[in-house]
Amino acid sequence: MFKVSYLGRPQPAERPRARFSNQGHYYIYNPPKYAEYKQKLIEFFNGFAEDPELVNLFDKKKIPYGLSVKIVFRFSVKNPNDNPFYTLRPDIDNLFKGIIDSLFQSKVNQVLDGIETDKNGNPIHDEFGNDIPHFKQRIDDSRVVHTEMLKLKATEESPEGFTLIVRNLGLEAIS
């Protein structure tokens, strides 16, 4: 089992969208606020790339069935009441997606697999002439077979942010 907490307001995932010009050209627009948040999360999870508990969870030979992921989100509220749950936007599935995308795109799950090539096998270079590294994933996010998510109001003891718990689901978990 791996458990970690992150401080800071959770952000929902925003999908990149195509933008079109009058000349028929298009580009992919990735909302900068979400891209920045996702990069912060990737760097946060990169800090656990050597954690033995987390490394074992991303070893496909040690995961017979899949992963269980529990995320508890905490949000600050202006007018607290007795309800412990945070019932306002953003949607919980988009919050979950942002964290899982970041975890699976971090060094915890990415393995260097050579350099990027075009369809003819020629290396692709960045604007400075450097080779662009190619990564592959140890496992993909389809290995997440169980989820549990809560949106709670932040408290003094539990400030705004999220807690992530990842477990290996073995046979005993489904019996």
- What domains sit in the chain, N to C, each tagged with a CATH number? 2-117+131-174 (3.30.1330.70)
- 46-66, pLDDT tens digit by residue? 999 999 999 999 998 988 889
Packing angle, helices 92-104 and 32-46, rounded to 10: 50
Residues 158, 94, 102, 125, CA torsion sign: negative
Alpha helices by DSSP H, 82-159 = 92-104
- 116-141, pLDDT tens digit by residue? 888 888 888 888 888 888 889 999 89
Name the nearest CA neighbour of 170 among 56, 53, 64: 64
Burial environment of residue 62 by CB neighbours within 10 A (0 to 12, 13 to 18, 19 or more): exposed
Please state the pTM of the whole predicted model.
Answer: 0.84
Alpha helices by DSSP H, 66-122 = 92-104
How many whole angstroms separate alpha carbon 153 and alpha carbon 136? 37
> CA geometry: angle at 145 spanning 162 and 84, to 5°?
35
Higher pLDDT, 29 or 102: 102
pLDDT at 174 over 70: no
Cβ atoms of 139 and 77 within 8 Å: the answer is: no
Give the mean model confidence (pLDDT) for residues 74-90: 89
Higher pLDDT, 49 or 29: 49
pLDDT at position 85: 92
Q: Which two tokens stand for residue 144?
A: 């997440």
pLDDT at 171 over 60: no
